[in-house]
Amino acid sequence: MKIPPFPKVKTLMVSLVILVTACTAATAPSASEVAAPAQSELPAATAVAANTNTPTTSAAAAATNTDTPTETATTPSEAQPTTAPDPDEPLPFGVEREFSTDFSRSSIPFNEILSGGPPKDGIPALDDPQFVSVSAADEWLEDVEPVTIFQEGDDVRIYPFQILIWHEIVNDVVNGRPVAVTFCPLCNTAIVFDATVDGQQLDFGTTGRLRFSNLLMYDRQTETWWQQASGDAVIGELLGTQLTFLPATIISWADARDTYPDAQVLSQETGFGRDYGRNPYAGYDNVNSSPFLYDGPLTPDQLPPMARITTVELNDEAVAYPNDVLKEAGVANDTVGGVDVVVFWQPGVASALDSGSIADGQDVGASTVFERMLNGQTLTFITDGQTITDEQTGSAWNILGQATAGELAGQQLTPVVKVDHFWFSWAAFRPDTRIYQPG
């Protein structure tokens, strides 16, 4: 059956309206903000979602000096096929006025596209991100706040969710590699993409539209529309092109600060007046609620639509690891697409979508995924609730897949790309997903 309307819509909308007033009163707009329509600028329904994965190296991998795996970017398999628009189907309202996109090229029906509220670029991407030191950022980041980490070579960048939630896209260049760091609040998905396609560097903005509550981005070079959840071009000149997912890690600020003391942290000095640290989606992260602005496939009833999950896709097999299961187990040894993997989980990370203050959000923990094969040996992991160890050598491991003590001290597991989701957003693209349960 259809998902019932979000029961706290009135409260959420009041909160957003209040924040619109705050946003429109913002000072010192940048050039990109001035160019955007002067309508609502609050963070609207945009997102990241599904992700498919092959074994890859994340920011964590370079933290050790021995046996660091070679970084491998991944390209996800295609999302579930949909029907292209009928030639007589009208375009989504307002797009002809705002975009020069070739709407004759589309792989999705236009009636699947909804307005998120703000217009094109109404939620402004960061095009010239500034960075500060870890010590400077520690003045305004709380220990439990969630951050995304991306590393290219020796260049480690930390992107706090308290900034991503207001901008949804950061166009950056890390150690010479153009990337797009994205976050869709309505789907709870944070994904980093390689921003080079067929030799052309792209930079991205927000369309102000959603599909299945997921962020639809556009590139400014061709005005092609991209589905953030799957990374594929769904409308326009580059139709059928796939963005490459890059490995990234989501952990607490405390863990990021202590592990990467020399990293660069995205600055609050963005050129936009935003109430960084405040959550404009207060109350949204509630397992007993329903998705906001979702109009898509029926959500399979194995899990509540708003259940938090960690997702992995390898060799066309998709698996969802419910947060509640991971919290109870601490580790999950599994095989996905023929690859032996382990999921680590630890508490201490606040939800960015719960309380009005991100730092006060409920503890949703952090998960990471790695290959279990190391030096030709398949490891099996256990935990006593405090320390993760492998049964084969008794070595101790941390959330970043680094052996901290024992025979394998200094070794690094090979990270596997994963994306956190709400169940409804992942299931919309991968309804064939296996839901992990301890054996």
- The bridge status of strand 373-374 relative to strand 377-378 is antiparallel
- Quick one: tokens of 124? 């402004």
CA distance 330 to 139: 31
CA distance 363 to 351: 6
- Quick one: tokens of 170? 């950061």
121-147 pLDDT, tens digit per residue, is 999 999 999 999 999 999 999 999 999
Q: What percent of the chain has pLDDT over 70?
A: 81
**Do 429 and 297 form a contact (C-beta atoms < 8 A)?**
no
Q: Mean pLDDT, to the nearest integer, of 284-302?
A: 94
**Integer-rounded Cα radius of gyration of the chain:** 21
Binning pLDDT at 50, 70 and 90, where does residue 74 land?
low
422: nearest Cα among 214, 168, 160: 214
Binning pLDDT at 50, 70 and 90, where does residue 187 land?
very high
Is 201 exposed, middle or buried (CB count within 10 Å of its CB: 0-12, 13-18, 19+)? middle
Residue 424 DSSP label: H
Q: How far is CA 110 from the centre of its chain?
A: 25
Better-predicted residue by pLDDT, 68 or 116: 116
Q: Mean pLDDT, to the nearest integer, of 346-364?
A: 98
Residue 387 DSSP label: -
Least trusted range by pLDDT, from 42-51, 105-114, 307-316, 353-362 = 42-51
This prediction has a pTM of 0.84
Q: Mean pLDDT, to the nearest integer, of 347-369?
A: 97
The number of residues in the chain equals 439
Is the pLDDT score of 45 beyond 80? Answer: no
Q: Mean pLDDT, to the nearest integer, of 143-167?
A: 97
For every residue of 236-281, DSSP letters joined together read: STTTT-BPEEE--EEEEHHHHHHH-TT-EEE-S-SSS---TTB-TT
Question: What three-state secondary structure class fits 134?
Answer: helix
Q: Mean pLDDT, to the nearest integer, of 293-308?
A: 95
Is the pLDDT score of 236 beyond 80? Answer: yes
**Do 421 and 189 form a contact (C-beta atoms < 8 A)?**
yes
pLDDT of residue 247: 86
**Do 246 and 192 form a contact (C-beta atoms < 8 A)?**
yes
193-222 pLDDT, tens digit per residue, is 999 999 999 999 999 999 999 999 999 999
Q: How far is CA 238 from the centre of its chain?
A: 23
365-393 pLDDT, tens digit per residue, is 999 999 999 999 999 999 999 999 999 99
Is the pLDDT score of 307 beyond 60? Answer: yes
pLDDT of residue 221: 98
